[in-house]
Chain A
Amino acid sequence: MTQDKSNVYFDDIPSRPAPVTERGIIAWMRENLFRTAFDTILTLGGLTLVIITIVSSIRWAVTGANWYAIIFNFRSFMVGRYEPELEWRVALAAILVMFFAGMAIRVWVNQIARLLLGVIAFLLLMVLVVPQIIYSTIDVPPNYFSVGNITMTSGQDTFSPLPRVSFLAKSGEIVTLQLASEQIKSDDALANLHGFMDLPTRQLWNEAVDRVELIAERNELEDLLARDLTEPIPIFTAEQREYQLEQLERMTIPDPIIEQYDLNNIVVQVNVLDGSTLQPLGEPVTLTSPEDIATFTIPADGWYILEKVQVSPEDTDGIALLTVTGVHPMLRSLSFTNYLETEDGQVIENQFVDTYVRMLDDYRVVRAVPQIDGEEVPFVVITQHQYRGTRDLQTYLRIYAAPFLQRISGGLTILLLVGVAGYGVAYLLQRTRGEKTTSQYSAWYLIALPPVIWILVAGVSVKGVLNISLVLAAVTFVVFIYYIGMAYGRTYQTIATLIIGSFFMMGVPLIVFDGYGYGLLALFNLFIWLPASIGFLAGSSQFGVREIQEIRPMLLITGGIMLVLFLAPAILTTSGILDTNQTYSDWFLRTSNQRNWSGLLLTMMLTIFGIIAAFPLGIGLALGRRSNLPAIKYICVLYIELIRGSPFITVLFFMQLLIPLINADFADIPNSIRALIGVIMFSAAYLAENVRGGLQAIPPGQAEAARALGLSGWQITMFITLPQALRIVIPALVGQFISLFKDTSLVAIVGLIDLTGFVNTMVIQTEFIGTRAEGLFFITLIYFVFSYLMGYVSRLLEASGSGSTRKL
């Protein structure tokens, strides 16, 4: 029996695309943006909000803001008034930090390496390639200069077009001059003028804009008053209507500006002179009609003078507008120079000189403004030759973005490459020495880094070197006593060594040399008995573990180093080889004036050393608070709660107020150091609470087990609970670091010029009055990038489980 299957359809049903509303972008939008009516309204509202915010901020950034304030003050934002001749040390410190940051990333948070590489490549592209593209593709916005014999008044100022202005130009650039014709066709055209313009031109533009606006306002009011009568609900009350009518009467429209000034109806002669020789570059060119173009090619870099005069009719008050290319606004600034040879053979070394900066491309010249008949020819200064009128994206890119990127390109490139190099070195180390060794190395480098940074940035005096030598002697003493304990155990002799040694480390430096600076370092030696005792306990608990022959060389080495470090200052000073009172200004790492610390440098120093110095204090307070001895406990509680209950600003203020009152000599302590002490006191209390949290999180079984093994109280704390607690609180510590980084901005209130404080300084510079928004935007960006990066790394650390005591 055969089955007839001809009526059965065996082919697959033709596949159709999934409905558009169920797959892809539309489905995603349905799911995530427009699920319900409420959702839709939220989405639309949110979208409006985002668009308004983004559009208005971009519009402000592109058309409103004056970013020269940032470009010009970039150095001040970074290091402020730090001594320029010592600046290389700050750069070195930054390079070191980047190098070890690169290493640390390879060692501990390798998972973001690829992302970071992408970011670095993007940044390098931005600072190295983008400015060049912009420079080569976008033209500079036009300049407008005025010519004529007219005298204009604006408020109490009177001014007239300058017959000569000096400017900076580079070899090969072309200066062209032409009568502006398009711009003077009507008042509307004049009001639409945009570009850099000198004072008379700006006055013309202002008047034109005012007139156009007045006409618009009048029309609007007339319209409103007409509607007021026709509409059912009156717009104005009777009183208001009367007032508005009065206003309308007051609005008298002046004659068109073009006619008032009779623009461009004069004959103008222009020429360009060399700044040093005062020889003209060519024959003077007479401009009578818009078709006439004067062109001058600049032969060499340097100063030039633009000469522009009205030739006929001779005695009338005429005025003409010129469109000029190749002349750009400039600024005069004081800058520090290490070595400079002027044209007349003078050598300037290590002093501040007037520098002239062309804002457009940061072209800097130290030579003075050219003079004619003993008088300086006024140069095209940005305060009087400002950008006016609408600004578009291209102008923004050309005059602000590209110069800014170029300004930061050098430093950023080096830092990024150093970071990559650090990453590479760590990678090589891991390949050759193994991961564990590399991780140990990195940890030690990171621990050694802060003192190195401090020495680099702050510098050391002769006195300081001696102090450091004594402190290092004290540190070696701790190691020495550790080995002593390890070799000989707890005997009368070793305990006597501990006590006598500590006494020497404490007392002798104070008594013998009177040179401890502010005694801050001496403070360390005063408390040497504490680490020494801990070291002794730690060492003696390992008594007999290792052969005495193994330990002896270590004993000899540490003892020798200790003696040398301890005795060298004594010998050097008492024999008169080094005079502690001399300043040694050519000293390799001479001290920088800490009053000059400002900008990002100050913010960073306060944050880093605020946390690091607060660490021992914080741990001590946390242990004290958990102590079962009531007196110690409550004193610690009192300190912690007192600080935590009062605002940071009061702590800072208290330090500023109190320190000079403690001792008259302390009045010399610079503000920045007073603030640093305040920061340390403040963050110690918060650190203590964090560490206490960690200590409380350790299961009591740990301490009980340690006790069962026969460890003493100190040993349990030092070797069992504290290390685990510190591991747990790593994320919290990073969080505190971030919040301290932000909180250091409060030093601006007590008069320090940190990143925030500098914005307040910047807005009182005459060139940059009213640029607070730009400054705040820039520093917010810096704060945000640093805090967000640190927070991100902390979250990665948390996720990777580095903080947990036991990896599950």
Chain B
Amino acid sequence: MSTANPTAPKQIEITLPKFLRDLRVLQAISQIVFVLAVTTALSILIVSVAQQLQARGAVPNYTFLSLRSGIPLSEAPDWYDVNDTFFDTFTVGIINTLRVVSIGLVLSTILGVFLGIFLLSSNWLIRTISRAYVEILRNSPLLVQLYFWYYVFMLNLPRDETGIPGEGIFVIPLRAPLYIILGVLIWLFYARRTISPPGVLGGVLLGAVGMELIIAVFGYNLALMLILAIIGGAAFFFAERITKNELQVGRIQGIGLLFTLQYLAALGFTLLERIGALSYANATWLEVHPAFFISRSGFISPEFLSTQNTLPWLGISLLGLIIAIGLNNYWRDISERTGRFIPRTTYATLIFLVICGGAWLFFSSQPAPDTVTVGDGEEAVTMPVEQAREEELLTIHQDAKISSAPLVILLPQSERTRFGTRILSGSQISPEYAALLIGLVIYTSAFIGEIVRAGIQAVPYGQIEAARSLGLTMPQTLRLIILPQALRVIIPPMGNQYLNLSKNSSLATAIAFADTYAVGLSIMNTSGQSITGFSIVLLVYLTMSLVISAVMNFVNSRFQLVTR
């Protein structure tokens, strides 16, 4: 084609010196030029910025970190004080960011996984609700959502928390955790039985709903509970006589199990109180006493106090965990070698629980300490417990700690004063922290839900059919077939969402939560060290991103398909 035009002037070949036609030399030159251009631009930038700062009398330095900050922080650990240094202030900000990010990661993963499963549910309503949830949350800005959670949700809650149920207070009775524990136990024990696990699970759920209805109608009554427990126990043992349908048997057994355990749990709570694990508790009162408060000033939940026996007990529990894992692995080896089936997970869990529980019983049977140190610093006096109690020198926390039990659960209690209610015990979560956490978790869970859904859908349906034809149960299919394959697809985008969550936590500044960015901002304003302060803030976020992506890369490499 190019020869079609004879009248065109002859194209002159450019003859450059030989070394300039060497590709390596050209590459080197272009790189040097590029680097020079970038460094020149940067150095011009840095020089002019430095000049401007110098003119304002704020020479960038890092020595300001050891000066007194004078910044009061609403959200700070006990040790922090206004007179601490800027470094301490930064530390508090970083701690707050880490608190939000670490808990946010866990919660949004859990919620997201459930959401992903709900998005694929065969139940039309659940599927539609989850779809609407995901679409609404994904298509509106996080900042707007945070404003909603803080200004519209948190700040419109009831003003005061009180000890009386039903006064606009959100009460979660302690039987709620029981339902969860029971669900997990059933999962563990019934997963491999011939009896239908969905039946038992459905029965437990039905039982829980029924129990709530009964309590709503008749109130919480120990006698009634005993009757229900006896009926439940009978139903559990005679279920197979009533009907031959496996599913029905499972359901009846589930309901019976729940009714029985409900009563046993009430007894258990009493027992816990007797052995000193629950202070200020009795079984019925636990049902009446709100374990969680939600009010305008945040969430209040039961407090876990450590005693002198906590560390030894934790040590023994850790030992138990190691033994359980070891045995689990040992049984797995045996199973793999001989092909003999051993329900190793169940056994290992049981062993672990037995060791933990045994250690607990051992420690709590020891006598409680009879002396206590009152006062702090140099005025501390050690005196007998009885005397201290009589003279009312002990705080609620100190009093609760005088116990031989390894862990003490202190339920939230408040006291009415003339100026409103005062919280005496219970760990408090500020409304800012709660709003930020709710906002971040719910926003991120929508994205994670979509990722999980896509991951599960990426597993060919033939895999599930094959698993079913091999006789695996649905939980086994999920655990052994679907999840390992889905995880390969899920993990990389999940890492991105974790990174997003960690970065989005900086929006805390919009709702006045003292995270790294907000604290950094006030440090920059107070100290005048804008560039250096900014660099520290940036460094914190970059490090966090780096750590998260490193961990996710590691996890990813563990789960990827090994190919040759």
Contact = CB atoms under 8 A, between A and B. Distances in A.
Contacts of B121: 42
B198 A749 contact: no
B142 A742 contact: yes
B292 to A, nearest CB: 19
Nearest to A628: B27
A491 B202 contact: no
Contacts of B220: 233
Contact of A32 (B4, B12, B124, B202): B124
User: Of A36, A37, A648, which is in contact with the most chain B CB atoms at under 10 Å from its CB?
Assistant: A37
B34 A635 contact: yes
A664 B152 contact: no
B30 A629 contact: yes
Interface stretch (A8-16, A152-160, A539-547): A539-547
A490 B8 CA distance: 12
Nearest to A791: B139
Contacts of A548: 5, 7-8
Contacts of B3: 544
A49 B202 contact: no
A779 B148 CA distance: 11
Given A32-B122, A749-B507, A635 B11 contact: no
A661 B49 contact: yes
B172 interface: no
Contacts of B125: 32-33, 42-43, 46-47, 50
A742 B542 contact: no
Contacts of B124: 32-33
Interface stretch (B313-321, B327-335, B379-387, B530-538): B530-538
Contacts of A776: 144, 147-148, 151-152
Contact of B12 (A33, A491, A648): A491
A664 B56 CA distance: 11
Contacts of A46: 123, 125-126, 129
Contact of A783 (B129, B139, B148, B416): B139
B14 interface: yes
Nearest to B415: A239
A42 B7 CA distance: 83
A32 B5 CA distance: 74
A547 B334 CA distance: 84
Contact of A648 (B4, B199, B503): B503
Contacts of B35: 631, 635
B8 A489 contact: yes
Given A635-B34, A649-B509, A772-B147, A37 B129 contact: no
Nearest to A648: B503
B510 to A, nearest CB: 5
A631 B30 CA distance: 9
A773 interface: yes
B205 A545 contact: no
Which secondary structure dominates where chain A touches chain B? helix
A636 to B, nearest CB: 10
A468 B163 CA distance: 71
B31 A631 contact: yes
A240 interface: yes
A240 B167 CA distance: 14
Interface string B352-381: 000000000000000000000000000000
B276 interface: no
A784 interface: yes
A35 interface: yes
B215 interface: no
B397 to A, nearest CB: 19
Interface residue tally on A, bucketed by range: 35 or more
B123 A661 contact: no
A649 B503 CA distance: 9
B31 A646 contact: no
Nearest to A495: B14
A773 B150 CA distance: 11
A787 interface: yes
A445 to B, nearest CB: 28
B48 interface: yes
A743 interface: yes
A492 B517 contact: no
A38 B1 contact: no
Interface stretch (A279-287, A652-660, A798-806): A652-660
Interface string A605-643: 000000000000000000000000111100100000010
B8 A543 contact: yes
B40 to A, nearest CB: 13
Given A32-B123, A642-B542, A756 B136 contact: no
A662 B2 contact: no
Contacts of B209: 41
A749 B202 contact: no
Nearest to A50: B129
Given A33-B123, A42-B126, A784 B140 contact: yes
A654 B534 contact: yes
A292 to B, nearest CB: 45
Nearest to A749: B510
B161 to A, nearest CB: 14
Contact of B538 (A41, A233, A646, A787): A646
Nearest to B31: A631
Interface string A489-522: 1111001000000000000000000000000000
A650 interface: yes
B481 interface: no
B143 interface: yes
What 8 A-B pairs come out closest when comparing CB atoms? Answer: A37-B202, A631-B31, A787-B139, A32-B124, A645-B545, A745-B141, A647-B506, A647-B503
Interface of A: 32-33, 35-39, 41-43, 46-47, 49-50, 232-233, 235-236, 240, 243, 488-492, 495, 543-545, 547-548, 629-632, 635, 642, 644-650, 653-654, 657-658, 660-664, 738, 742-743, 745-746, 748-749, 756, 759, 772-773, 776, 779-780, 783-784, 787-788, 791
